Copies of this chain bind each other. A is one copy, B any other.
Amino acid sequence: MSLGTFLAVTRAPRAGVGRPVATTHEEIEDAAFRLFGEHGFQSTTVEAIAAEAGIGRRTLFRYFDSKNDIPWGRFDESLVHFRAILQESPADLGLREAVHRGVLQFNDFGPEAAPQHRRRMGLILSTPALQAHSVLRYAQWRGVIAEFVAAREGLAAGDLLPVTVGHTSLALALSAYEFWLAHDDADLLQLLDQAMAGLRSYLA
């Protein structure tokens, strides 16, 4: 499981009754990425994406709250998994190690998922509008870490340390991602380790 895995399955709310759905999140996402690849994110209109997916514009907005949300897929579902990863970490593990390993595991995906994941993150991190929108996703992700730290240290999730650890973990992840995207041959997990090591020696 990884960031690349949040293109999960569109769950059926209930089977049978009512008009059947016309599409799925994945179909829209695929159609969108196809057009983004051709014309870029900005130049691709929502109307065009809807047409490519064979649905109405209005319907698209029922699957995704905004155009900016499309590249992120169903990120919220992967957060549930992230929370689980952290909670399962052994209690005797140091806090820093627990968080770090959790982040590594969250970003550990097989080599087969890597190209798709690279395309997704490359698009996000190279498009200003998406970079901007992403902070809202990042905030949720940081929240998961803050909650974990708070729980383990007997603090409130709004206290300075949990918040700082959340922000810092994101800082490390983004640093690694930026470098990873700039270098084809780089290994993401290794970069996460390197970033952590670099920061520790910087702060020591």
Contact = CB atoms under 8 A, between A and B. Distances in A.
Interface string A168-204: 1011101110110010000000010011001110111
B164 A198 contact: yes
B160 A191 contact: yes
A182 B135 CA distance: 20
Contact of A202 (B96, B175, B176): B96
A96 B203 CA distance: 6
Per assembly, the copies of the chain total 2
Given A179-B160, A202-B161, A134 B135 contact: yes
Contacts of A200: 203-204
A187 to B, nearest CB: 13
A95 interface: yes
Contact of A132 (B132, B167, B182, B198): B132
Given A171-B171, A203-B96, A204-B204, A198 B161 contact: yes
28 contacts: A95-B202, A96-B202, A128-B136, A131-B136, A132-B132, A132-B134, A132-B135, A132-B136, A134-B135, A158-B179, A160-B179, A160-B191, A160-B194, A160-B195, A163-B175, A163-B178, A163-B179, A164-B172, A164-B175, A164-B199, A164-B202, A167-B171, A167-B175, A168-B171, A168-B199, A170-B171, A200-B204, A204-B204
Q: Which 8 A-B pairs have the closest CB atoms?
A: A167-B171, A171-B171, A164-B175, A132-B132, A168-B171, A163-B175, A161-B198, A164-B195
